Amino acid sequence: MDIKSMTKNELAEIIAQNRDNPSGELLGAARAERDKNYGKKIFVRGLIEFTNYCKNDCYYCGIRRGNKNAHRYRLTREQISDCCAEGHRLGFNTYVLQGGEDGCFTDKIMCDIIYDIKEKYPECAVTLSIGEKSRESYKAYKDAGADRYLLRHETADNNHYGRLHPPCMSLENRKNCLYTLRELGYQVGAGFMTGSPYQTNETLAEDLLFLKELEPHMVGIGPFIPQHDTPFADERGGTLNLTLTMLALVRLMLPKTLLPSTTALGTIDPNGREKGFDAGANVVMPNLSPVGVRKDYALYDNKICTGD
Ligand code: 5AD
């Protein structure tokens, strides 16, 4: 199975064949590739969801601007610092600062936060996941010490992108952000949801081809899960098997990429995260956010770990 040299049609065919029941051959090949590059080691990244305010209105997302029922919060700098301290105590050496696109966190404030963390924990990596920004902003965060940036492309098909996002957002801008981040020297993460509305085997094949071209350090893949206060409330969610299929195919396409077994995967199946590892994943991102706000970072319904 030489995934790397396949055409879009061939990839779409492999996806069609595996999506409801990924073959042992596919999953085994993905595991072997993971083991060859990383052994059995699982990498841990501590996730801090520091704001759920967002100026965007993505149709799938529970913290979209248009969701008037979302209970909004922002962590203070002190709370963020406490989350890092807890992560450090637990032995984590990467902090992922994730949030909606929240204008209250200006570049100056973000840079101060990054600088503080790097000063306290110089050996740790700081990862940002705060959406689409200008080159100047990305440069400022980098200069303040940020090491990595996660920005899922969501779908690499133009038409599909337009059905998941309002017209003011574009795949072109998303891709430009990813290329800019890479140019600035960030380790970059891209990714997409499986089973999002209007997704097809062909759009998924396009995701694989885009990832091959971008060669990100990380690829975040999780099932789409409907959120009851969004336009996609009544849509069907993505499945475990399709997610495992795509994890395995990305592992084969980009053998050295870091592949998280995501919270969304753990949400749709009690053993989802373990099954993700059996499909070639090798990263887990435990939640370091204060327990009291976790339920409010409700990108989708029934998110796990909100009460822990
Ligand atoms: N289901 C699953 N994943 C979602 N995300 C946003 N909304 C949902 C949902 N309803 C994902 C997006 C985003 C990441 C932070 O969470 O892919 O990039």
pLDDT in tens, 275-287: 999 999 999 999 9
Question: Distance between CA atoms of 231 and 61, rounded to whole angstroms?
Answer: 9
Joined together, the tokens standing for residue 149 give: 């940036």
| Average pLDDT of the segment spanning 17-31 | 98
- Residue 308, pLDDT > 80, answer no
Distance 82 CA to ligand 1 centre (A): 26
Ligand 1 nearest atom to the CA of residue 237, by list position: 1
Question: Distance between CA atoms of 306 and 223, rounded to whole angstroms?
Answer: 18
- Residue 307's pLDDT band, with cuts at 50, 70 and 90, is low
Q: Which residues pair with 190 in a beta bridge?
A: 219
pLDDT in tens, 224-270: 999 999 999 999 999 999 999 999 999 999 999 999 999 999 999 99
Closest among 236, 211, 225 to 156, alpha carbons compared:
211
The percentage of the chain sitting over the pLDDT mark of 70, rounded to a whole number, equals: 99
Answer for the pair 145, 114: CB distance below 8 angstroms, yes or no: yes
| Average pLDDT of the segment spanning 212-231 | 98
Question: Distance between CA atoms of 151 and 252, rounded to whole angstroms?
Answer: 21
pLDDT in tens, 66-125: 999 999 999 999 999 999 999 999 999 999 999 999 999 999 999 999 999 999 999 999
Distance 98 CA to ligand 1 centre (A): 12
> What's the chain's average pLDDT?
97
Give the model's pLDDT for residue 1: 74
Give the model's pLDDT for residue 49: 98
Answer for the pair 107, 137: CB distance below 8 angstroms, yes or no: yes
Q: Positive or negative CA dihedral for 192, 304, 266, 14?
A: negative
Give the model's pLDDT for residue 306: 73
| Average pLDDT of the segment spanning 141-155 | 98
- Residue 6's pLDDT band, with cuts at 50, 70 and 90, is very high
- Residue 11, pLDDT > 80, answer yes
Ligand 1 nearest atom to the CA of residue 98, by list position: 15
Which protein residues touch ligand 1 with a CB less than 6 Å away?
60-61, 152, 154, 193, 222, 224-225, 227, 264, 299-300
| Average pLDDT of the segment spanning 168-192 | 98
Give the model's pLDDT for residue 281: 98
Query: Which residue's CA is the nearest one to ligand 1's atom 18?
Result: 152
Closest among 153, 164, 152 to 60, alpha carbons compared:
164
Residue 197 CB coordination number (10 Å): 18
Give the model's pLDDT for residue 173: 98
